[in-house]
Amino acid sequence: MVFAAASLSEPFRALERAYEAAHPGVDVVLNLAGSQLLASQLTEGAQADLFASADTQTLDRVLLERPTAGPSRRVFASNRVVAVVAADSPLRTLDQLGAPGLRIVLAGPEVPAGRYARAALDQLGIRSAVEANLASNEDSVNGVLSKVALGEADAGIAYATDLARSPSLRGIEMPATVQVSAIYELAVLSPEPSEEQGTAFAAFVVGDEGQAVLREYGFSAPPPN
C-alpha cells in the first residue's frame, strides 16, 4: 500500500503501471489524498508500505509516531506554487488577488499546499489582503482546483503541475523573488515481511525511470543536498 499526496495522483498512477509491468504479479495499491489526511490515517494506525508527502514537515509528524529503521527517507521531487484562475478570468496579476470582493480559496494552513501558498503570499507582501478575501480552506489542493474550476472561487493557489490536469484553468506565475519550493519526501514505513516491497518501490521512484515519469508530469528534480 502506497500513501501519496493528492498532487502526486497522476504521476503515481503512471509509476504504478510502470512498476507493475516490470514486476509481474505485484499489485501496487495507491491511497491518494491530502498529505495531512494521510498522516492522520497513519498516526491512527493505518498500514502502508510507503508514504510520499508533499512536504517534510508532514512526514516528520508521521515518523515521530512510527519511526522507521535505516536511511529510508528520500527527497524525490520538487514543485512550485502558482495562482490559478479560470482560463477566461480577467485576473492577470498577483496583486489583483487582494482586490475587495474577490473569492479566494486556499488549502488549509495545516496542509502542505496551504503552507506553501501562505509563505509565497508573505514574500509578496499581500497575505493579509488575500486572506481578507478567503472564501474557504480546503483539505487538499484538489479542493482548491475544484472550487476555481466550478466558479465557486475567483482564484486559488495550487501547484504548477496541477495546471496540466486542469485545462479549464490558467496559471499566474510567481516572480523569481518568491523563493518557495514544494519539497516532496518519501519514507518506507512497512514492517517485515513487506518492507522489501516498500523499499523496492521507493527505489523505483527515486531511480532514473521514476524520475523520468515525474519530469513528464512537470515535477522538477529534488534540490541538491
| Residue 181 annotated as lining a ligand binding site | no
**Per residue in 95-108, is it b (16+ CB within 10 Å) or e — as a string?**
ebbbeeebbbbbbb
| Residue 160 annotated as lining a ligand binding site | no
- Burial label for 120, CB within 10 Å (0-12, 13-18, 19+), is buried
Q: Which of 219, 199, 211 is nearest to 54 (CA)?
A: 219
For the chain, helix, strand, coil in percent to 5 are 40, 25, 35
CA 7 to chain centre: 4
Distances (CA, A) of 105 to 88, 148, 156, 187, 203: 18, 8, 5, 30, 36
SS3 state at 5: strand
| Residue 7 annotated as lining a ligand binding site | yes
| Residue 159 annotated as lining a ligand binding site | yes
Question: Residue 126 and residue 122: Cα distance in Å, rounded?
Answer: 6
| Residue 141 annotated as lining a ligand binding site | yes
- The secondary structure of 171-207, three-state, reads EEECCCCCCCCEEEEEEECCCCCCHHHHHHHHHHHHC
Question: Cα(first)–Cα(last) distance of the chain, in Å?
Answer: 28
Binding region: 7, 35, 113, 141, 159
Binding region for molybdate: 7, 35, 113, 141, 159
